[in-house]
Amino acid sequence: MSVIDRILGPRVSREEQRERDERYQLPTWLFSASALLLMVSLLLPYWVLRLSAPQFPDGLIIRAFVNRLDGDVGELEGLNHYVGLGSFNDAATFERSIAIASIIVLAGLLVAAIVIHSRWVLVLVTPALLFPVIFLIDLQYWLWNFGHNLDPAAPLAAAVGEFTPPIFGRAKIAQFKTLALPGPGMLLAFVASILVAIGLYYHRKAYKPLIESMEMEG
């Protein structure tokens, strides 16, 4: 048996496909749906920050997409100057530069996984499975980085001191109150990850007997 055959895994006969069509189609549907959700997530914010302060009675909002920010970015940059936080433009520059291409690749790997009927499917789908968690870890790192590298010359830096903004939930920084929430893009990424996990379960259920049969013959 060639290396390619071992990677692709056993092929399903037409008779077997007809008898148990849903069993073999379910992983395909789940991986395809995951890929679609990841692509749609590119259009939506992954993280939302709301800020209220006496001088901003209506509040401010910033929405973080995988490669850009929108909302009241200019106003918040001005507040960052007083607190001593760095500029948003200096955060996650590498991550933002590769984000769109990376997610497209993740979706492409999920589509490619459809034709893999062996354990090698894990190599293709694991990046998409872990992506939302990796995104959150990276986001938390940058929040920590900002809160622990204040400009000592800033007017409120000494009063605020070092801090770590929570990735989700409420916080208070001097007279500023914040609320951090997951954006719809992040929620879609998590749903995609869950669908990948379910797809792996049904993939194993469908193809494990065929793999064992193939290994016994070869």
Does any domain span residue 9? no
Does any domain span residue 2? no
Does any domain span residue 170? yes
pLDDT digits (tens, 9 = 90+) for 16-43: 666 677 778 999 999 999 999 999 999 9
Residue 52: which of 184, 166, 176 has the closest Cα? 176
Domain count, the chain: 1
Pair 45, 184: CB distance under 8 Å: yes
Residue 40: which of 68, 71, 65 has the closest Cα? 65
pLDDT digits (tens, 9 = 90+) for 90-141: 888 999 999 999 999 999 999 999 999 888 999 999 999 999 999 999 999 9
Name the pTM for this structure: 0.89
Section 42-58 average pLDDT:
90
Instruction: Name the residue range of residue 35's domain.
Output: 24-213
pLDDT digits (tens, 9 = 90+) for 106-118: 999 999 999 998 8
Does any domain span residue 186? yes
| Model pLDDT, residue 218 | 55
Place of tokens 């996990």: 197
| Model pLDDT, residue 217 | 62
Which tokens in the block code for residue 205?
């259920």
pLDDT digits (tens, 9 = 90+) for 166-217: 899 998 877 778 899 999 999 999 999 999 999 999 999 988 887 777 666 6
Identify residue 200 by its one-letter amino acid code.
L
Does any domain span residue 14? no
